[in-house]
Amino acid sequence: MSYPQTNSLLAKVNIRYLRPSFWLQCVFILLLALVLFGPIMNLLIWTVTESWYFPHALPSQWGFKYWQQVFNPYSDVSGSLFTSLLIAVLTVVVCLIVSIPAGYALSKRSMPFRIFWMLLFLIPQAFPNLTVYMNIARLFYDFGLNGTLLGVIIVHSVHGLMFSIWISVAAFSSTDPMLERASRNLGAGPFYTFFHIVLPQAAPGLIASSIFVFLESLDEFTGTFFVGSPNITTLPLLLYTASMEGNYQIASITALILLVPSILFMVIIHKFMKPEMLSKLGK
Amino acid sequence: MAHLHIQNLQAGYGKKLILDKINLTVEQGEMIALLGPSGCGKTTLLNALCGFVPVSGGEIFAGSRSVSQLPAEKRNITMVFQSYALWPHMTVAQNIGYGLKVQKAKRAEINRRVSELLSIVKLEGLEDEKVTALSGGQRQRVALARALAIRPDVLVLDEPLSNLDAKVRLSVRHEIKALQKQLGFTSLIVTHDQEEALVMADRIAVLNQGKIEQIGTPEEIYHHPSTPFVADFMGAENHIKWPTHDDAFRLNTSNPAAELDLYFRSENAVLATPQAASKDDLNAGLIIHGHVEQSVFFGNNYQISVRCGKHTIQADHDQNLSENTPVTLSVPNNALHAFDKEGKLVAHQKNHAVSVKSMRMNHVC
């Protein structure tokens, strides 16, 4: 009996807003935003907090005291930042040395057992991290590699090789074989051709893979924890210790520092990753 | 530049033999076109010459050197690739100078040679451009200059014009020909376009299924095809199996029972309507009566499909004709390519088979 009234209302208000699906969408978007940005907001607040006690919704004292503490040249943070960067750079170097020849070889269809070799580099990822790294740590004791920079770099490289091999195979596969032929045709030998023609063509993909390896190494925790500690302290290890001690300010600021390379990476990857290369991934 | 001599060449991928017993000699300063449909093995032949496909039998000589077992970089036979295969990370000058840089030539000498080549291919002022910024025609010329820079013994071109649009193609084709005359390079050009081959080449080799069907000057190939395949491929698309057992067809031969394959071009089929009856029947080798099925405007003339029995014959005519007009086609003896059934070979055997009148025809064939 109230039909006429409803109709006039519907006419006034756009009918779209009354559909349940519209509100459902709103709720989902809000939830998603909360899930995505909630923890980050919390982290950001912690970085500028000096004191924050349990029942309060917001900190009682704001300030940059802990930033000074973190960026003090004598703090643990700058030391472990340096260690982290050193390990990451060396890991990238090791991965490139292995994956450039391996990626080129595996990009050739004529390579025997091609799929087998590629899967081989995935195997360490197939098992739970913890077991793999515990066993590596056990092995490394015999060689005296525990607690050394070399040991940590090896562990990080095993992890990084998965990315660098698979991406460099894709990078080398997406190069035009005719360009190689043209070079041989003009009198260049296979090595000259590789360094002057093939490598520059694959360089964007190799840079992308290096960035992946660099970031993975920078964020790596489990392996470093088992193999490196207590002598090697990287940023993630420091972050772990700080959080365990309840020092959320230091932990949050460290996390922010770790965020910087990731954002830089997003920008660079956007520039270097070609769609035609992505389509060759795993082929 | 030196002459190229191919002897009994066999090559293929894996166990599949693509080229079988190829014999070909390219004289110094000569341009030979390898003409054939796709899949006939012409690109494989170039790849075998350049060392990209292993040679399983026979020999290749560039000058007096045997190159068939040398690696690609030692052959001194350079290629202009179908896709040009220019290196996108290099400038025009770096692309052209690459071969000299590989030979460790001095920088000044490389620069001199590069600017010389740039002026030859008319690309002065573009030396510092990235090749990706060039048009198709310009890329083509860079590819040509790059291949010529190291003064190869032989230059091979793999469908160099197929990636260009029609208008650019015509001008580039004349440019390449003019350059070839000017510089006198020994070259092999692969094409599937008969017109391109006729215009550019000194001699043409027609390839079919990995074998050379016929080698000859453009005139020989065009006017005197030696096999039905060559006749058909060179544009004699009208094909009649003789005898037709049909009164609409009349062949001037003393031996009408001889089995023949007749080929002729649409431009050689003289079409006459009943009003303008034809005069010299004597010269005509083949006379066909039929009806117009379709008439298509081709710019300078009309192509008319004539229906006669189970055959449809194409003929050129200067006027549009309405459907079902009765017409008479006559093909002169010298434009009629006749092949006998068994050997597919032409002249000699048929001289016996066919009469005096068709002797003239066969003589031409």
In chain A, the largest separation of any two C-alpha atoms, in whole Å, equals: 92
B73 vs A187, A197, A201: nearest CB: A187
Contacts of A201 in chain B (CB under 8 A): 88-89
Q: What is the pLDDT of residues B174-214, one digit of tens each?
A: 888 888 888 888 999 999 888 889 989 999 999 998 889 89
Q: What percent of chain B has pLDDT over 70?
A: 89
Distance to chain A for B203, nearest Cα, Å: 25
> Is the confidence at residue B39, as pLDDT, over 70?
yes
Maximum mean pLDDT: which of A198-202, B16-20, B251-255, B325-329:
A198-202
Is the ipTM, as predicted for this complex, more than 0.85? no
Contact B285, B251 (CB under 8 A): yes
Contacts of A200 in chain B (CB under 8 A): 87, 89
- Secondary structure of A78-117 in the HEC alphabet? HHHHHHHHHHHHHHHHHHHHHHHHHHHHHHCCCCCCHHHH
A182 touches chain B (CB under 8 A): yes
Q: What is the pLDDT of residues B77-110, one digit of tens each?
A: 999 999 999 999 899 999 999 999 999 999 999 9
Per-residue confidence of chain A (283 residues) as pLDDT tens digits? Answer: 445 555 555 555 566 666 778 888 999 999 999 898 888 888 888 888 888 887 777 888 888 888 887 777 777 777 888 889 899 999 999 999 999 999 999 998 888 888 888 888 888 788 888 888 888 899 998 888 888 999 999 999 988 998 899 999 999 998 899 999 999 999 999 999 999 999 999 988 898 889 889 988 988 888 899 998 788 888 888 888 888 887 888 888 888 888 887 788 778 777 776 666 666 665 5
- Provide the pLDDT for residue A199: 92
Q: What is the pLDDT of residues B217-254, one digit of tens each?
A: 999 999 888 888 898 888 888 888 877 777 778 777 66
Contacts of A196 in chain B (CB under 8 A): 98
Q: Among A186, A193, A196, pick the best mutation site for testing chain B contact (most B Cβ within 10 A).
A: A186
CB contacts < 8 A, A to B, total 60
Q: What is the pLDDT of residues A173-216, one digit of tens each?
A: 988 999 999 999 999 999 999 999 999 999 888 988 898 899 88
B76 touches chain A (CB under 8 A): yes
The domains of chain B, with CATH numbers, are 4-225 (3.40.50.300), 233-364 (2.40.50.100)
Check B73 against A184: CB less than 8 A apart. yes
Edge-first strand order for the sheet with B337-340 is: B238-242, B260-264, B337-340
A191 touches chain B (CB under 8 A): no
Check B103 against A187: CB less than 8 A apart. yes
* Distance of alpha carbon A116 from alpha carbon B111, whole angstroms: 48
- Provide the pLDDT for residue B202: 93
Q: What is the pLDDT of residues B124-136, one digit of tens each?
A: 899 898 898 998 8
pLDDT confidence tier of residue B356, bands split at 50, 70 and 90: very low
Query: Shortest CA distance to B223 belongs to which of B237, B208, B236?
Result: B236
- Provide the pLDDT for residue B96: 94
* Distance of alpha carbon B32 from alpha carbon B39, whole angstroms: 19
3-state DSSP assignment of residue A258: helix
A49 DSSP assignment:
E
- Provide the pLDDT for residue B358: 37
Neighbouring residues of B192: CB distance < 8 A, sequence distance ≥ 6: B35, B36, B37, B38, B42, B159, B162
Query: Shortest CA distance to B230 belongs to which of B333, B352, B315, B345?
Result: B345
- Provide the pLDDT for residue B148: 92
